[in-house]
Structures are given as C-alpha cells and as structure tokens.
Structure 1
Amino acid sequence: MSVIKKLRIQIIAVIVLVQMILVAGILLTVDYCLARHEIVRSRHYLETIAENGGIPPLPDGRVHKGNFVSKKPWLAIGSDDSFFPLQISVDKDEMRNFFSVKITPDGVIGDVIKNYSFDLMPSDISKFVGKVLAECRARGGGCYPGKTVEGTFDGILFYMKVNDDGSRIISAMNRRVEIMMLYYLVRFSVVVFVASMVVATVFAFFLSGFVIRPTRVAFEKQKAFIADAGHELKTPIAVIGANLDVLAPDMPGNRWLSYIREENERMSHLVKNLLYLAKDDAGRNKINFAEFDFTDAVRNSVLPFESTVFEEKKRLELGIREGLRFVGDEQQIKQVVVILVDNAVKNSEEGSTVRISAVAEKDKIILRVFNTGHGIKSEDLDKIFRRFYRSDSSRARKTGGYGLGLAIARTIAAVHKGTLTVDSKFGEWAEFTLTLPMKKGRKKSFFGK
C-alpha cells in the first residue's frame, strides 16, 4: 500500500471517528435525557399521589376534595433530580392508566381509586399489591412507618408509602406505551447513527481526496525527481567505469584507481536501488510471475556467500526443505535472499553462525535467516526497514551499506503478498522471517503491484 493511500485512509478514519463520537454523543444524550425525564416525571407524580392519600392532585396542587396542597408540586419537572435541562409543563391528562390502593395496617386491601382507565381486574390488582409488599419485605427492615418503596413490575411503575398508623398507600401507573416509545426512539437513533456513519464515510472519501491533493502532487514530483536523477547518474557512472577499465592496464596497482572503482561501484549499486524503489512507488516495476523451484533458488542465492563465510571463519548452516515450489518472480525472490544473507554475514563476528532455513507450513513458505553476532536494539526493530535508516552508521559505512536493502526486501515481499519481519536479542542474535503464501499467481508479466 502506497504512502498516499495510507494517508488517505487515516484521514477518512479520523473524520469518521470524530463524526461517530459526535453523533453518538448527541443521540445518547437526547435518549438519556428523555428517558430520565419520563422516569422522574412518572415517579414524582406517583409520589405526590401517595402523599395526597391516593388521590391525584390538580395541576395547581389541590386535590379533588378539600384544599390539601401537595408537598411537592407534581409539575416541577426540570428539578435537579430530573437531569433534564428545561422546565417542561405537562398536562395532567398525560398521566393516564393510574390507580392507587389503600391497605389497612393488618394488610387488607381497602379502597382502590381508579380515576383513569386501567386494564387490570381486581384479582390482578391483588396480585400486584402482593408483589409490592413482597418487594418491601425483600429489601429488609419490613414495612415500618415512614418507609417508601418504588420500582417497576412488567412496565407498571409503583410507589408505596407506609403511614404512621401502619397503613400503606400504593400508587401505580401503566407506562408500557411510554417504554415502547422509548424503545422505538432507541431503534430510530441506531438507524440515524448508521446512516450518519455512511454519509460521513462518503463525505470523508471525497474530502480526503481534496485534502491530500497537494501532498500527492509533491510526492509524485519527488518520485519523478529520484527516477530522473537516477537515470541521469547512470551515464556518468558508466563512463567512469569505462575509463577505469582503460587506465587500469597502464597503471597497475594504483591505489587511487582502486578507490575510484570502489566508490563508483558503490554509487552504481545505490542508483540501482533508488531506481527500483522509485519504480515501485510509481507502480512501474516489471514483475514476472511464474512457478519455480523455491529450494533451488534459495540454494543458488546462498552459494556465492560460502567462500566469504569460510574466509571470515564463520559457520554457514542450511536447512532447506526439498521440493518447495512457489509462484512469483524468481529473480526478485533471489534478491531478497541475497539481501538477508548478506545482512547476516556482515553483521556477525568471527566464529558466528549464519543459518538459513526454508519450510512449508500449511499454505505458506517460511524462509528464516538467522545469525549470531551484533543483534538489533529493540527500539530499532521497527525502523530498520525504513529507507536509508542505519542503526549504526559507522558500521554500515564500513560494510558498504546504504540502508536500502531491507526496504527493498520488504517491498518485494509485499508485492508477493507476503511479509518480512525481524526478531532479535541485542548483542546475541538476529533473525529475519520471510513469509510467502503458496497460491497460484499470474504467470504473465505485468506492471504494477
């Protein structure tokens, strides 16, 4: 995935995340406030009824008979315990399906006041009262004078008050319709939330394209510059190399010519790597997918290092499974193996072990390149695949590194839908793992990833 695509995805993710938090916050706040308002309003009304002896008060606070004024005006919605930001005046007729029950001190149901329609039979009311009394006893302490109990049974909100003489008043209200409306409100909120996320995603998609346009232009110019500079450098490098070949017979053993040749070869290698990365960024790398013998490819790539390992008194171990076959670009896979083995040899001391293994696990080929020696610092494990990054610049210069090899190796792994990871213990060992899927790919040349 290119840098531009990653940047665009990040912008889209940020926009959608902000939209999600904002919309979710608004919807949750509204739903909570409405639900809380409904609960507080109903509970307050039932409390007022219980305090008024089971009789609902008029909107101005008076009961139907007499001039009793309730201790709490039942229209005081918006108080501190309601969590609703506005004072809302509610018509008393909205409190429908109400009834209250007066219970004598010995537990016998006395009067049943039903000023509004309620679809409960006397037997149902008796069962409901039994549940309320059982709930009172279950909460501990018994039904002593001054105790109040409130709750909900099957969508019926109740409030019970125990008077000083031991009698009890239970007020109840059917709030099933209101609960169902709140349920529908929650469902509607979910639909609004999902719809807003879809709109936000579409909006973010088009907005991100506009936002990253300057970045894309600058990035394209940078890639074009690298590619053009690389092509321009190839000519003088080739000319220098040709002149060195001409001068070498006339100046045998000249150390200055040796220095020039060495640096010219380094520059040629650097330009080659830069051109590869520039073409990869532009999607113009030519990739030839075909089935090949993975086992032979790895062995042929490791073979040139045997003499170097022997001269530096190191130990080379191979554990490559026979008969491994893979569909991909053979030359690029060999290049990855060369990069990893060269890295292992250069970063190991005399007497160290370099071990290359390749096995098939399920539907994947796993190549591991292990070496004892310097290892990699934990803070550098995520950085060594960056272009031009070198954890030890002085050593990299000594071994001829530019910090591009591992970047190229990971790029090739990504082109083949694989991964390249590293694990290490600093000062002791390092191991690179190349994982490639064993799936049949396209067997024709194409440009791009």
Structure 2
Amino acid sequence: MIKNLRKKFILVSMCSMLVVLLGIIGGILTAGYRRITGRADHVLQMLAENNGEFPFKGMEWKPPEKTQKDFHLSLELPYETRYFSVSYDSRGTVLETHTGNVAAVQEDDAVKYGEAVWRKGKTKGFYANYRYLIQKETEPMGIFVDCSQELDNFYALLRASLFLSFLGSSMVLLLVLFFSKRVFRPVAVSYEKQKQFITDAGHELKTPLTIIDANTEVLEMMEGENEWTVSIRKQVKRLTRLTQQMVALTRMEEGSGEEEMCILNLSQVIQEAAEPFCQVAENEGKSLSIFVEPRIQGKGNEMQLYQLVSLLLDNALKYSLPESSINLTFRKKGKRAELMISNETDMVPKGNLDILFERFYRTDASRNSETGGSGIGLSVARAIVQRHRGRIQASSSDGRHIAVTAIWER
C-alpha cells in the first residue's frame, strides 16, 4: 500500500511539473513564433503598400511610429531585409520577378515560388523559409520576405528547450525518488507497525476467545443454557469473526499469496458461491435471483472469490428490506469480469456510496451491531477485488436501491 501511495505521489508530482514546464515553454515558444510572423507581416504590408519597395523619403528611411514601437524596426531594416516579389496576371501566371534584394533566389526560383503560393489559395503564410503576402487587387502581386535567420533561431530555441526540459525532468525525477523515500519512511514504519499489531493481536485473542467459549460451554452443561450464556457465545462468535477478517485484510494488503492466482472457470466459482444463499434468503422471507453468464474463464484466487461473493451477499441479506428481492449478475465486460449485487434497503444517499468500503463504517449513526455485522466485511471485499487488479464501487440511483459492482481483469 505504501509503495503504491509513493508511486502515485511520484506520478502526480512529475505530471504536475511537466504540465507547468510545458505550459511555460509552450507560452515562450508561441510568443516567439508570433513575434516572428507578426514582424514579417508588418514588413510585408509595408512593402505591399509601396509596390514592393520600402517607403523612402528622399534618401532617408523612417519606419512608421506605431510599427517601430511595436516591433523595434531599426533604420537598417531596408538593408538587412532579404525579399523579392513577383507580378501576376489575373489567372495567377507570373509575369515579372524582382529579385534584386535577395541573393539566394534566382528568377526561375521566384517564378516557382510565386506559382506555388498562388495555387495554395492563401493570401498569407510560409513557403519554405519565406513569409509571403499575396495581393490580388488591381495589380496582383506576391511579396516574399526571408525569415530563415529568425526561424533558425526559433528552432534552435525549440531544440534547446526540449533538451533542457528532458534533462531537468530527469533531475527532478531523481530528486523526487530520493526524497519521497525519506518522506514516506516514517509512514511506512508506522503502517508496518500497525499491520504487525493487528496480526499479533489476532493471534493473542485466539486463546482467550477459545477459553471463554469453552468455559461457557461447561457452564451450560452444568447450569443449563440461559440468556447470559447465549449472549456470551454470540459475542465470542462475533469477535472471533472480526479478528479473522482483520487478519485476513492485513495479509491481503501486505500482498502475500500472489502465487495462488490461477486460471479458473469464474462462472462456476461465482455460481457455486452464490447458490447456498438462496436457502438463506428464503428462510428470511426474501428472494435471491442469480444470473451468471456461462463459461467465463479468467485468472483469480478461488477461495478469495468465494469469500467476495459470500461477503457481498451476506451484506445484501443483512441490510435489505423484509420480503424484498436481491439480484446477483455476473457477466463478461470486454476483457474484464463484472459482478453486480443489488438490493432494496432503507433510505440511503443518492449517488456514490464508496464510503461503505471504509473500515468499521456503518450507515446508521448509532453504529449498533443488531445486524451482526462487524463493519469490516466490505473492506475485505475491496481488498480482494484490488488483489485481482480491479475496482469496486457502490451507488444508489433513487435512495432506496443500492448496487455494489466489482470489475476485475480476467
């Protein structure tokens, strides 16, 4: 249990760290990419408004104030920007190219680029490392701005971010593994002491309970049975059963007995475990309906599955209303097996009732034991299902019927 808790803590810690880290890196990279495209689009718009040239005033270049404020366009922009443009006819055929401001693109390349982006049908986007803008108004024109330097820097930042994220995550994982072991050590020691106490107490209680039961039997032989001896025997039986369940629950939580799992005819096991309760239900004026899908094979522990069915049916019989019906259904659900037991009971809260599986929990505030229950049977049932790599839950749809559903891997 402590190992599973530690694994969950490590998993949650790493997932939380990765989500935050990816969010930060993703935000930075997204802002950087938008910055590149935004600056290129401003330059393209500026060129489009001036027929493919920068708006010089005499021999002096002055970038627009708003653009200069937003993107810090320098006075060197016309001299450091590599761009070219093409002119189209109405059908998208390139009529003329202007490649005097770029060295990496020749006229043939400019024609190929221009025709390719026209066919794409988009007025703005990337083609190779060039950001382009298509203007289809009076004189169709396509303008391309070289963004290779900016994109190279962006991809370098992306690679560095991924590498540093992987390196940082690995270091954090090692630190979490190291410190979580220290953090959970006192919890593990306390939990082990608790389990050892339960096991030792269970063994120590066996002898006095046996003696009390034997002495009560002797008293009945000498004085005859009376209400006091009957009460003593009843309470001894209840305490013995509680002790056995506590020890069994502790052993299952320790994870022992894994080798007892084997391939079983699950349908037969469930059927044989449930049938004896039909007579018990009839004696109590109730009815038990059993539906078991035949020939369901799966891996499991036969004795534990017997115990699971017995605990759930015993619980349903104890807490169902007089003359009511109890239903047991067992069927395949994909690669899993599903066992569901439902019964009518007193008013219970609607919705999820998984609190019933907590140790010693009772639905009544007085926690009386008139039903003979120990308050731990459903906890044992949950431990059995978890040993079979499954889950168990209880719910009520109307506040009068309760359904307990156990699903485990076959």
Question: Which TM bucket (shorter chain)?
Answer: 0.7 to 0.9
User: In the TM superposition, what is the alpha-carbon distance from 1:211 to its structure 2 partner?
Assistant: 2.1
The CA distance in 1 between the partners of 2:134 and 2:295, in whole Å, is 83
Structure 2 residue 372 is the aligned partner of structure 1 residue 400: yes
Cα pair 2:350 2:398 within 8 Å, conserved? yes
Shift in CA distance, 310/36, structure 1 to aligned 2, threshold 3 Å: closer
Q: Does 1:216 align with 2:188?
A: yes
What letter matches 2:16 in structure 1? V
Aligned with 2:204 (options 189, 207, 232): 232
1:381 maps to what in 2?
Answer: 353
* Corresponding residue for residue 68 of structure 1: 60
Moved more, 284-293 or 273-282: 284-293
Deviations 1:43-90 (A, max 9, x none): 556677788997669xxxx97xx55351537995xx4x34xxxx7989
Q: Note if contact 2:216-2:233 (Cα within 8 Å) is conserved in structure 1.
A: yes
1:18-54, Cα deviation, whole Å (9 max, x unpaired): 3213432442344234434444554556677788997
| AA of the residue aligned to 2:4 | K
1:370 maps to: 342
Counterpart CA distance in 1 for 2:46 and 2:351 is 68
Does residue 97 in structure 1 map to residue 89 in structure 2? no
**TM-score w.r.t. length of structure 1:** 0.71
Matched to 1:156, the amino acid is: Y
Determine what percentage of the aligned residue pairs are the same residue: 27
Partner in structure 1 of residue 386 of structure 2: 414
Partner SS, residue 371 of structure 1: strand
Residues 1:17 and 2:15 are matched in the alignment: yes
Report the CA distance shift for 1:190/1:48 in structure 2 as closer, same or farther (over 3 A).
same
1:146-295 matches, within 5 Å, as: 155-157=129-131, 172-284=144-256, 288-289=260-261
Question: Partners in 1 of 2:265 and 2:48 — Cα distance?
Answer: 89
Relative distance call for 1:297 and 1:45 in structure 2 (3 A) is closer
Find the counterpart in structure 1 of residue 282 from structure 2.
310
| Map of 1:342 onto structure 2 | 314
Larger Rg: 1
In the alignment, does 2:313 pair up with 1:333?
no
Residues 414-446 of structure 1: per-residue CA shift (max 9 Å, x gap): 3234444444444543333444555xxxxxxxx
The answer as to whether partners of 2:304 and 2:384 remain within 8 angstroms in 1 is: yes
**Contact 1:157/1:175 (8 A) holds in 2:** yes
Contact 1:418 1:435 in 2 (8 A): yes
- Helix, strand or coil: the match of 2:233? helix
Deviation at 1:130, TM superposition (A): 12
Query: Match of 2:33?
Result: 35
**The 10-residue stretch of structure 1 (43-52 or 353-362) with the greater mean CA deviation from structure 2:** 43-52
1:370–1:432 Cα contact (<8 Å) kept: yes
Cα-to-partner distance string for 1:192-234 (whole Å, 9 max, x where unaligned): 4344444433433333222212221221222222222222222
Cα shift at 1:16: 1.4
- Name the counterpart of 1:143: none
Q: Give the aligned residue type for 2:318.
A: K
| Unaligned 5+ runs, structure 2 | 89-94
The letter of the residue matching 1:260 is I
**CA separation in 2, counterparts of 1:131 and 1:316?**
74
- Alpha-carbon separation, structure 2, partners of 1:126 and 1:279: 76
Aligned twin of 2:107: 121
8 Å contact from structure 2 (residues 134, 142) kept in 1: yes
Count of residues paired in the alignment: 403
| SS of 1:390 mapped into structure 2 | coil
- Give a deviation string over 1:335-383, Cα, whole Å, max 9, x none: 2221111112112222212334445667655444333344753345221
Counterpart residue identity of residue 334, structure 1 = Y
- Amino acid in the other structure paired with 2:234: E
Look up the SS of the partner of 1:399 in the other structure.
Answer: coil
Q: Is the 8 A contact 1:11 1:204 kept in 2?
A: no
- Residue number in structure 2 paired with 1:5: 3
Contact 2:278-2:287 at 8 Å conserved across structures:
no
Letter in 1 for 2:208: P
More helix by share: 2
Q: CA RMSD in A?
A: 4.5
User: SS of 2:357's equivalent?
Assistant: coil
Q: 1:375 to 1:114 in 2, by over 3 A?
A: same
Amino acid at match of 1:117: A
The answer as to whether partners of 1:366 and 1:434 remain within 8 angstroms in 2 is yes
Contact 1:374–1:426 (CA<8 Å) still a contact in 2?
A: no
Give the residue type in structure 1 aligned to 2:130. I
- Give the whole-Å Cα distance in 2 for the aligned partners of 1:111 and 1:88: 26
Q: Is the 8 A contact 1:51 1:70 kept in 2?
A: no
Residues 40 and 194 (structure 1), Cα distance of their counterparts in 2 relative to 1, 3 Å cut: same
**Deviation of 1:113 (Å):** 8.1
User: Would the aligned equivalents of 2:354 and 2:393 in 1 still touch at CA under 8 Å?
Assistant: no
